Each structure stands twice: as C-alpha cells, then as structure tokens.
Amino acid sequence: MTDLLFLLEVSLAGLGSGALLSLTALAFVLIYKATRVINLAVGEILMLGSYLFFAFAAGMGLSVWLALPLAVAGGALTGAVVERGLIRPMLGESPISVFMVTVGLGSVLIGLVELIWGTDPRSLPPFIANTPVFLGEAYVSRKILVAFLVAAAVMAAFMLLFRYWRGGVALRATATDQAAAYSCGINVPGVFSAAWTVGCGIAAGAGVLLGAIGGISPSMGVFGLSALVVVIVGGLDSILGALIGGLALGLIQSWAGTYLGGEYQGVVTFGLLIVALMVRPYGLFGTHEIERL
C-alpha cells in the first residue's frame, strides 16, 4: 500500500514536470508549424523571460502579478523583433542557415543576460505559496501543481484557438501551403510574426514557472533541450504531440529517476528519442510528409 502511494506520488511529480516540458515544447511547435524554423533559442528565450520577471519583481519592486505579464510581453516582444529583424530577411535561405541563426541568437541572449544581470545563479521572489498539497494521501509540491494547471490551461486554449479561431485557422493554412494561403488572402508574413511573438511569449512564461521552481541562471536554457526531445517524439507540428509527449516524458523520467536512479534519466530520455525516430521519424502525432520526385 505504501509502495502504491509512493508510486502515485512519484507519478504526480512526473506529470507536473512533464507539463512544464509540454509548455516549452508548445513554443517550438508554434514557431515550427508556421515558419518551418526549429528555433533552438527557445531555451534562451525561456531564460530571458525568467530574468525579465526577476528584473520587474525583484529589481523594480513591482507586484509579481504585474511582473508576470510584463515578462511574458518582454519575451513576446523579443520574438517579434527577432522575427522581423533576423528571420524574415532570411526567407528563402537554406533551412540550415536559419537554424544556425537561432543557435547564434541563443548565445547572444546568454551573453546579454550575463552582461546585465551577471553570472550568479539567483532565486525569484516567491509568488507561489509553500504549503504542500495533498491529493487524498498523496503529496504534491504546490509549485508543480500550479505549473501543471497553468500548462494545461494554456495548452487547452491553444488547441481550441487552432480549431475555431480565424487566426488559428490562418496559421494552419500557412503551415499546410504558404502559396495557397497567400492566394486566399492570408497575411502570411503576419502569421510568421504572430507565431514568433506568441511562441516566444509562451517560452518566457514557462521560464517564470521554471524559475519559480528551480531558480534562475544564464545556463537554465538547457531545459529547452529536453523540450526539443518532446517535440521530436511528439511531432514537430503537433500541439497534441507536445502535450502528450511532454507528459509522457515527465512521467518516464520520474519513474526512471526513482526506480533506476537519477543517472539513468538522460539515458532513458535520449534512448526514447532514438527509438521514436526509428519507428516514426515524423513524430507520434506529426504530419507524415510524402515527397514526390
């Protein structure tokens, strides 16, 4: 009985951290879906978002409830500027060039944060209560529960938006066929811009949640790598894939960490990536593109 309760607690913790992975994966998916660019700087935008929150809440002493939307807006603005200034001029260039630009962008953002806020790891001002939550007898960290609920709400909202909102449909149309979308009167560059803006805003928000749990440092962007595994397994252009992939990876990592030991988490994570790529190279829920010669 105790062992069952322990398994339940471990699984809940895994689902919680999996939700954070899903949220970060959503940023990858949104940008890829619209622009076919894998933005490797998502991890660094996430890091920037947490530092912006730190600056607004701790540095300027604003209320955390004001600092949070400002941090998200800051991330979104960064996304918009990057898209307009760096990515759009590269339209038509080889995908690897654009990919490398995002790699460089990540390094630039790390450098900027180190210049402005220094290199010390820091803690965010507390804005989630510390009292533990018990679901029945099972313990759940409140921060993890909050992260799970926020991630679930954001993911649900985006799934609905893509299904029913005109802008969402425009993004799906752009993703399917850019030329056809143009001819239907869809503002394709506008869609690109919107995807980068919203994607980076989400990454910044995920950064604040992540920072609230684990503290912030210029190197926290490596979290983006785990989220990249999620999108590759789930499908680069599938929001459902990001959701299920994130939760599954969180759960598997948690079980592996508990029953095999923390040293096996990386092996299991990347082992899963290799198997997924061998079985379904386009991801569990991704679009299977057939290229005709």
Partner 1 sequence: MFSLTRRRVTGLMAGVALVAGLGAAQAQEDDIVIGGSIPLTGVFAFAGVAIEAGMQDYITQVNEAGGIGGRNLRLAYEDTGYKVDQSVAVFNKLTSQDEIHLYYGDSTGFAKTIAPELNRMGGMIMGGASFASELNDPEEHPYMFMAGPDYSEMIAILMEYIAEETPGAKIVLVNSDTEFGRDPIESSRAKASELGLEIVEEIITPPTAVDVSTEVLKLRRARPDYTIFHGYILAPLPEFMTQAQQLGLETKFMGTFWSMDSSIWDSVGEPADGFMGVMPYRYYYDEEADAPTMAKIREMRPEYQATGYMQGYLSAMLMAESARRVLDQGQELTGTNLKAAMNTIQDFDTGGLIGIPISIPGNSVPVGRVYQYSAAEKKMQPVSDWITVTE
Residues that bind partner 1 (CB under 8 A): 6, 9-10, 12-14, 16-17, 20, 58, 110-111, 114, 118-123, 126, 130-132, 139-144, 210, 213-215, 217-220, 222-223, 225-226, 253-254, 257-258, 261-263, 265-266
As measured in angstroms, the least distance from the Cβ of 221 to partner 1 is 10
Closest to partner 1 by CB, 134 or 164: 134
d(CA 190, CA 130): 42
Across 111-255, where does the E strand assignment appear?
Answer: 133-135, 138-140
247 membership: H or E segment, kind and range: helix 239-255
The nearer residue to partner 1, 118 or 281, going by C-beta atoms, is 118
| 123 Cβ contact list (under 8 Å, min separation 6) | 215, 216
Residue closer to partner 1, measured from CB, 153 or 225: 225
- Please, what is the minimum distance in Å from the beta carbon of residue 120 to partner 1? 4
CA nearest neighbour of 148 among 30, 269, 14: 14
Beta carbons of 202 and 30 less than 8 angstroms apart = yes
- Give 150 or 161: the residue with its C-beta nearer to partner 1: 150
Q: Are 234 and 284 in contact (CB under 8 A)?
A: yes
Closest approach of Cβ 99 to partner 1, in Å? 21
* Rounded least distance, CB 165 to partner 1, Å: 32
- Closest Cα to residue 56, out of 106, 124, 110? 124
Cβ-contact 79, 197 below 8 angstroms: yes
C-beta of 122 vs 172, nearer to partner 1 = 122
Find the shortest distance in angstroms from Cβ 149 to partner 1.
15
